[in-house]
Structure 1
Amino acid sequence: MTSPENLPGTVGELRASGHVQRGVKAEIRDNLLAALTSGHSPWEGIVGFDDTVLPQLERALLAGHDVVLLGERGQGKTRLLRSLVTLLDEWTPVIEGSELGEHPFDPITPGSQRRAGELGDDLPVAWRHRLERYTEKLATPDTAVADLIGDVDPVKVAEGRSLGDPETIHFGLVPRAHRGIVAINELPDLAERIQVSLLNVMEERDIQVRGYTLRLPLDILLVASANPEDYTNRGRIITPLKDRFGAEVRTHYPLELTHEVALIQQEAHLVAEVPDHLLEIIARFSRLLRDSDSIDQTSGVSARFSVAAAETVAAAALRRFAVTSETRATARLIDLESMVPVLRGKLEFTTGEAERASEILAHLLRRATADTAKAALRGVDLAPLAEAVGQSPLRTGERVTAAQVVAALPDLPVVAEVGARLGALDSEGPGPLAAAAELALELLFLTRRLTKATRAKGDTVSYG
């Protein structure tokens, strides 16, 4: 990324421009305050945390605290950590060629200090974009101290430096993030000896590498994510490291159904049109899974489950579009069945329930469908539709096109009312109206006002 040409190119020019040096935490505080004052949210793409997580995180950042986000899988912790980069200045000055991206007014390594002394105001300045100031590390059991802190570089030793020379050190990820943000995902997965290596960095701001103790006033914001079960004294986190984080912020799955649907709409890459009521069924299905005693809730039901479910339903609609030569790929109720066998592996069941997995998922999907249909069609009198279909059964299913479903619908005002309720009348093609009608028919079946028969192959359903 190329910096603007009008920025200062030397320390002298930078000083003459009136530039004021700030620490990274002060920089984040100032930019967050400016955003809050202007009413602009810096948390783009974060859904459902406005009244819960974000106020806590904002207070922690304003206080200048290192932060750990605690939550189950798929609660948006990594997305939230990555969004912190928007609170940094877009461009910041660094000593050109410096290994740690030091501020031109404050060199901290022997090499940069020597250059600053020799060149004075002619010390060249480069500009670093904020995206280059965010460093992320997934904690894994094989992570070494050298990865995070540093190690002796044999190449530098071979060049003639002595082992006692601090310039033989190859700095690790944390020192190289000087004047930026370091994010460690799944912090408790670090081995205890690696966690110990972070203690001095967080408190004393020095690093120790193979007997060297370098007093480096590192300027970093350290943020991390962890599972609540692991982030305890009885878990895989050492108490001194836990004590050094200034704030612990708990995340959660979407509290409101509308937030769950909005998250799916934002994150899912859909290859076919999926009507809103089908997305709502998927969202309700996920929420029922999170409340089910048959699902291991310590593992959680990730928001990625909902996203993958919507993408699978869209893919099923696209396949049906190709097989039946429909005019437009639009998901219908029949496509929901495709997500159960594909996604059951993303769930962990409690002891003894895995054998009943298909039965449990099918039951919860029916509940989600019924709840969505009742909410969407509340107040609509479906009795005329039930009576008409009872006298003249209506076929639907994977092998029946949307045009065939719409053509078979009785000519009744209630059909138009159902279509209007579900936003299908103004849509292009017969797919949305067929999807709306199928939801009404399924509600009549689930409330035992219609019967349903399925062929052996499961590709044709008859309501009557």
Structure 2
Amino acid sequence: MTTTITSGGVDWAGRLRTGLVDRVERSFTGQREIVETAVICLLAGGHLLVEGPPGSGKTTLARAVAAALAPAPGTDAWRRVQFTPDLLPAEITGYEQPLLTGGAAPFRPGPLFAHVVVADEINRASPRTQSALLEAMEERRVTVAGRTHRLPDPFFVVATQNPVDLHGTYLLPEAELDRFTARVAVGYPSRAAETAIAAGRLTEPEGAGPPHLRAEDVLAAREATAAVAVTDALVGYAVAVAEATRTEDALVGGVSVRATRALVAAARARAFLDGRGHADAKDVQRVAVAVLAHRVVPSGRSGGDAAAVIGDLLTRVPAPENAACAP
């Protein structure tokens, strides 16, 4: 059940549900939980990794999110980068173009200078090009020829990869995986949804209609999300879940402190999207697999299923009572 949370007289949670979640789901039909996870990442100021087979709608999801946002003046709503082995870092960050007449070389912004960046098949680029994303994703800036350039705000990377076809790919290093707030696995839609897609009966084709939200609306919604109450008991629970991954025999190593912070931020965003002014243990549990599973490496004892290991840990780590999590 949702309630109304206002900030500055605006029901931002309601606007996000109708102007973003509902709208994107009309394009990315039948997979509302994945749509909500994408919006949670946006609200938490993070980035999303989408895995799935070709033709399952990974790029459609990112484009639908971008189509709902009106860009700030001089900024693109979204840009797509097709990652390939020969892609150079300057082709995504931008470069300085020398002038024949001399003088200071002007900076030519790359496709990272957009509110939503679709990094398609990110694991096909070389490690050097992948690393060019690290500064951008973590610090919201790029450095070219010794000069730093700020990226637009909000800045949201949606990266896609095919987890099955690994020919000619470079596995994402742990440092880069850790930059993604959450990972979702896109499967095939239900038969009813696939029938609607095949018949062209989507109620709102991808990108149809004017944008529902401005860039400043997203920033205001982020401020309201940051105001969602989180108690020490709840933070302690998130820390306990993270610590459990570091001592679990079914995992090789555990999650970072960045992951713990992302878990709390995502739980806040989950509560906010549901219209609640405080987060509780159920919010942590609902986002834990998406936030943590891609950051750990299963051992031979786990059967290779990190999500199942995280799910099992959640049943064993004691959760605080809901009353203790209320403001």
TM-score (norm 2): 0.51
Judged with a 3 Å threshold, the aligned counterparts in structure 2 of structure 1 residues 152 and 186 are, in CA distance, closer, same or farther, namely same
Structure 1 CA distance, aligned partners of 2:141 and 2:67? 27
Q: How do 1:42-81 residues align onto structure 2 when only pairs under 5 Å count?
A: 42-43=23-24, 44-50=26-32, 52-81=33-62
Equivalent residue, structure 2, for 1:171:
109
Structure 2 CA distance, aligned partners of 1:40 and 1:56? 10
Equivalent residue, structure 1, for 2:101:
159
Judged with a 3 Å threshold, the aligned counterparts in structure 2 of structure 1 residues 49 and 208 are, in CA distance, closer, same or farther, namely same
Judged with a 3 Å threshold, the aligned counterparts in structure 2 of structure 1 residues 185 and 59 are, in CA distance, closer, same or farther, namely same
Q: Which has the higher contact order (CA 8 A, sep 6+)?
A: 2
Judged with a 3 Å threshold, the aligned counterparts in structure 2 of structure 1 residues 215 and 172 are, in CA distance, closer, same or farther, namely closer
Q: How do 1:137-152 residues align onto structure 2 when only pairs under 5 Å count?
A: 137-152=81-96
Which one has a bigger Cα radius of gyration?
1
Deviates more, 1:33-42 or 1:135-144: 33-42
Aligned-partner residue type, residue 200 of structure 2:
Q
Would you say the 8 A contact 1:31–1:88 is kept in 2? no
Judged with a 3 Å threshold, the aligned counterparts in structure 2 of structure 1 residues 74 and 241 are, in CA distance, closer, same or farther, namely same
Structure 2 CA distance, aligned partners of 1:205 and 1:61? 14
Q: Matched residue of 2:199: which SS?
A: helix
1:213 aligns with 2:110: no
* Residue 37 (structure 1) shift: 5.7
Identity value in percent: 27
- Segments ≥4 residues shifted beyond 3 Å: 30-33, 37-40
Gaps of 5+ in 1: 1-29, 95-100, 103-131, 269-464
Would you say the 8 A contact 1:144–1:194 is kept in 2? yes
User: RMSD across aligned C-alpha pairs, in angstroms?
Assistant: 3.1
Judged with a 3 Å threshold, the aligned counterparts in structure 2 of structure 1 residues 32 and 222 are, in CA distance, closer, same or farther, namely farther
Q: Matched residue of 1:266: which SS?
A: coil
Would you say the 8 A contact 2:67–2:77 is kept in 1? no
Structure 2 CA distance, aligned partners of 1:41 and 1:160? 52
Aligned-partner residue type, residue 264 of structure 1:
A
Aligned-partner residue type, residue 117 of structure 2:
V
Gaps of 5+ in 2: 1-10, 203-327
| Pairing partner for 2:178 from 243, 268, 275 | 243
Q: How do 1:396-435 residues align onto structure 2 when only pairs under 5 Å count?
A: none
Judged with a 3 Å threshold, the aligned counterparts in structure 2 of structure 1 residues 208 and 53 are, in CA distance, closer, same or farther, namely same
Deviation digits for residues 215-271 of structure 1 (CA, Å, limit 9, x no counterpart): 52543211111112479xx952122211111111111102x3222222211289xxx
Equivalent residue, structure 2, for 1:285:
none
Q: Count matched residues.
A: 189
Would you say the 8 A contact 1:31–1:87 is kept in 2? no
Deviation digits for residues 171-229 of structure 1 (CA, Å, limit 9, x no counterpart): 22213x2xx2111111111111001111111112332324x131525432111111124
Deviation digits for residues 103-157 of structure 1 (CA, Å, limit 9, x no counterpart): xxxxxxxxxxxxxxxxxxxxxxxxxxxxx42111111122111210122312x2x
Judged with a 3 Å threshold, the aligned counterparts in structure 2 of structure 1 residues 239 and 76 are, in CA distance, closer, same or farther, namely same
